[in-house]
Amino acid sequence: MGRYVFGVDIGGTTVKLGLFGEEGVLLEQWEIPTVKENGGASILPNVAESVKGKMEERHIREEDVAGIGVGAPGAVDEEGTLVGGAVNIGWKPFNIPEALGAYINVPIKAANDANAAAYGELWQGGGKGSANMVAVTLGTGVGGGIVVNGSLLNGATGAGGEIGHIHLVDGETESCGCGNRGCLEQYASATGIARLAERRLEKDEKPSLLRGRNLSAKSVFDAVKAGDEVAIEIAEQFGEYLGKGLAVVAAVVNPEVFVIGGGVSKAGEILLSFVEPAYKKYAFHQCRGARFALAELGNDAGIYGAAGLIILN
């Protein structure tokens, strides 16, 4: 097996690339723009060219490359097929390893980008040392990546770990982006927290640092850190929703650790202090001991996880 591995994380504006050496050490990382024109037809040729350029620069031969792992922004099945396409970058459904393999002759594997990021956190981040993990990404939405016995759970149609779309609340009047109503994402994402804050502030006139401020996950948790009572109520509500949702997830996959990442997680350890107690309240007793950790790799989780697809399998 070759000594080098490339990890590729295809995003809506840039493609992140990483060159990994023995034992998974990140040697170098760089980016190229994601060219979305023509249905994203140049994205994979550009990736191949960039990888080949790096190989030439470093005098790496094809036989020294163990493989290329690719994270893509859509549902990807076990064979690396992007089953539903990837609307953000204009891709229709196709098999990624086959398509990229037309430009470069090394082993290739592909996974969903959120799942790849989860895998990165498992391998070298907040979930290190665990074989059963749930990674939770609290951003604009709520994403999830699930690792079972050391392998990514992709599911039958690549929708494994779509925990943001767990039905959590009956009688919700607003719709989630997915079309349903009452999804976890509507309460625990960055936008969900802003909405909880708005609803709480409208309820009464209790003074709060948040009044007249731009409501966001950041402003809420900053106010929590300043001891603001209304902000603490909002954070408790968020914790109740997310803790309850993760307790449901635990009754299904029984993870050893939950790794919490995404923009909202920048609030730090204080975030976990609102989620864990609610989790323990709703969790099945045998699942109650699951650990909670913050994600550690930030935006690099994707390239780590993509490389991990090659190195760990």
| Binding region for a second copy (CB under 8 A) | 75, 78, 84, 130-132, 144, 146, 148-149, 151, 153-163, 165-167, 178-180, 244, 247-256, 282, 284-287, 289-290
CA distance 228 to 204: 15
Nearer CB in complex with a second copy: 232/248: 248
Dig out the tokens for 117 from the structure. 């990021």
Residues 18/300, Cβ–Cβ less than 8 Å: yes
Residues in the chain: 313
Residue 299 is given by DSSP the state G
Q: What is the smallest separation between the CB atom of 126 and a second copy, expressed in angstroms?
A: 15
In the sheet where 65-72 sits, what is the strand order?
A: 26-33, 14-20, 4-10, 65-72, 108-112
Residues 121/133, Cβ–Cβ less than 8 Å: yes
Q: What is the smallest separation between the CB atom of 149 and a second copy, expressed in angstroms?
A: 7
Nearer CB in complex with a second copy: 35/253: 253
98 SS3 class: helix
Nearer CB in complex with a second copy: 30/284: 284
Q: What is the smallest separation between the CB atom of 28 and a second copy, expressed in angstroms?
A: 33
Q: Are strands 291-294 and 257-261 parallel, antiparallel or unpaired?
A: parallel
Could you tell me where the beta strands, DSSP code E, fall in 11-55? 14-20, 26-33
Give Dmax (Cα) for the chain: 68
Q: What is the smallest separation between the CB atom of 87 and a second copy, expressed in angstroms?
A: 13
Q: What is the smallest separation between the CB atom of 111 and a second copy, expressed in angstroms?
A: 13
Nearer CB in complex with a second copy: 29/180: 180
Nearer CB in complex with a second copy: 160/305: 160
Nearer CB in complex with a second copy: 70/168: 168
Q: What is the smallest separation between the CB atom of 261 and a second copy, expressed in angstroms?
A: 18
Neighbours of 148 (CB within 10 A): 15
Q: Are strands 4-10 and 257-261 parallel, antiparallel or unpaired?
A: unpaired
